[in-house]
């Protein structure tokens, strides 16, 4: 039965945003842990570790995100492992985010002049202490713009989780369209809600850039 698009439908869409935010947060935290590990592997002095990090990045970045969602949700069920949409989406997005964040942060670490590493070594600091006290604080300043930029992309990419039945903002939009038959109105509202999520992040990023003098 077709009905009108009402305020209640808008409220349902707004409520669905919490799952978009929850998935984004889980993916960013999981991807951050993986990404930091990948970045450290990529700048390691040991060639086998660099090779492992490089292979991971190339495999994940060379594979569509949809493929990872299908692997975890449909692929595991083929071998008898039932996975909920939540677990499948969290795992797929964490792996995906880890590769991109790893490359972003690897670039930030390698952008620090070699003389900074040498200065730390001359003070008798080990690699871990150099990273913690000298390199990472400087790399954080450089990493803010691309990291926030990727976070915005991650928020929008959560819409792909709708294909495995994960009910977030886009999936709720599909369900609402099916009963109201107002695709233009529904998806215009969905787009506005995504904008409301992403625009403040870009503004916060710009303020942090100015406060930390990233351009220097």
What is the percent of the chain with per-residue pLDDT over 90, rounded to a whole number?
Answer: 63
Question: Where are the chain's structural domains?
Answer: 7-212
pLDDT at 197 over 90: yes
Report how far residue 19's alpha carbon sits from residue 23's, in angstroms, rounded to the nearest whole number.
Answer: 6
Contact (Cβ atoms closer than 8 angstroms) between residue 155 and residue 198: yes
pLDDT at 109 over 70: yes
Please give the average per-residue pLDDT across 153-178, as a whole number.
93
pLDDT bucket at 44, cuts 50 / 70 / 90 = confident
Q: Which fold has domain 7-212?
A: MetI-like fold (1.10.3720)
CA dihedral of residues 36, 61, 190, 72 (deg, nearest 10): -90
- Distance in angstroms between the alpha carbons of the first and the last residue of the chain: 60
pLDDT at 8: 92
Please state whether the predicted TM-score (pTM) of the whole model is above 0.95: no
Q: How confident is the model over 76-88, as pLDDT tens digits?
A: 888 888 889 999 9
Contact (Cβ atoms closer than 8 angstroms) between residue 156 and residue 180: no
Shortest CA distance to 69 belongs to which of 156, 162, 153, 154?
162
Shortest CA distance to 23 belongs to which of 77, 65, 79?
65
Q: How confident is the model over 126-161, as pLDDT tens digits?
A: 777 888 888 888 888 888 888 998 999 999 999 999
Please give the average per-residue pLDDT across 189-198, as a whole number.
95
State the average pLDDT for the chain.
90
pLDDT bucket at 105, cuts 50 / 70 / 90 = very high
- Residues in contact with 44: Cβ distance below 8 Å, sequence separation at least 6, in sequence order: 50, 53
């Amino acid at each position: 039965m077709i009905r009108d698009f009402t305020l209640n439908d808008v409220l349902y869409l707004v409520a669905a945003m919490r799952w978009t935010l929850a998935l984004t947060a889980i993916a960013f935290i999981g991807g951050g842990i993986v990404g930091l590990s990948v970045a450290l592997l990529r700048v390691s002095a040991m060639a086998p570790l660099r090779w492992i990090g490089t292979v991971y990045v190339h495999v994940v970045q060379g594979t569509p995100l949809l493929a990872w969602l299908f692997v975890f949700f449909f692929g595991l069920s083929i071998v008898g492992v039932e996975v909920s949409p939540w677990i499948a989406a969290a795992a797929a997005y964490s792996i995906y985010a880890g590769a991109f964040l790893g490359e972003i942060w690897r670039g930030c670490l390698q952008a620090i002049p070699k003389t900074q590493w040498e200065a730390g070594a001359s003070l008798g600091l080990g690699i871990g202490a150099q990273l913690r006290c000298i390199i990472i604080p400087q790399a954080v300043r450089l990493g803010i713009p691309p990291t926030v930029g990727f976070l915005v992309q991650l928020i929008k990419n959560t819409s792909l989780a709708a294909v495995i039945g994960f009910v977030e903002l886009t999936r709720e939009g599909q369900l609402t369209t099916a009963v109201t038959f107002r695709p233009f109105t529904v998806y215009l509202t969905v787009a506005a809600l995504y904008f409301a999520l992403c625009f403040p992040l870009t503004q916060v990023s710009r303020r942090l850039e100015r406060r930390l003098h990233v351009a220097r």
